Structure 1
Amino acid sequence: MREAVQPKYNKVKATCVCGNTIETGSVMSEIRLDVCSACHPFFTGTQKIMDTEGRVEKFKKRYSKPEQK
């Protein structure tokens, strides 16, 4: 393996938006995450819906079953 061609592998801290930090290895100098295992809905069991334009309500209104009498 030629040393001049290979990138330098460093220990870095990956920082999430929620404040959680994870130590890992990477060729990058710094890693910033949007979602990590501490704040991801799959791991936490909570659901966060970012609905800025009313898309969820529009979808529910369009595809909901009509009430039966």
Structure 2
Amino acid sequence: MKKGIHPTYYAEATITCACGAVLTTGSTVEAMHTEICALCHPLYTGKKKVIDTTGRVDRFKKMAEKSQAKQVARKKAPKVKDDKKADTKKAEKVAA
């Protein structure tokens, strides 16, 4: 191995999760922080919970509410018959 080109390896690097769990491993980074780990992830724990770190769930819920409101408004609005084809046929007959 060449000297001076490899990063420093930390045999006791720590990974700290947002849930408070601390894992020890080997890495080139001495300390890392993560938002979720195997100790708190719903897939591994079997508990149902929504993990929303960037606000995506709230954004989706807002869009769904807007969509529901539009559908309700569309159902309540009176139906207007569109007679564009009939108007063009009448205009063609008059012109001929």
> Please, what TM-score do these two structures have when normalized by structure 1?
0.72
Q: If each structure's helix is expressed as a fraction of its own residues, which one has the higher value?
A: 2
Alignment equivalent of 1:55, drawn from 61, 73, 80: 61
Unaligned runs of 5+ residues in structure 1 are 63-69
Unaligned runs of 5+ residues in structure 2 are 69-96
Indicate the SS of the match to 1:23: strand
Cα RMSD, aligned residues only: 2.5
Q: If each structure's strand is expressed as a fraction of its own residues, which one has the higher value?
A: 1
Compare CA radii of gyration and give the structure with the larger one.
2
Inter-CA distance 57–42: structure 2 relative to 1 (3 Å threshold): farther
What is the CA-CA distance between 1:23 and the residue it aligns to?
A: 0.3
> Please, what TM-score do these two structures have when normalized by structure 2?
0.53
Structure number with the bigger relative contact order (C-alpha 8 A, sep ≥ 6) is: 1
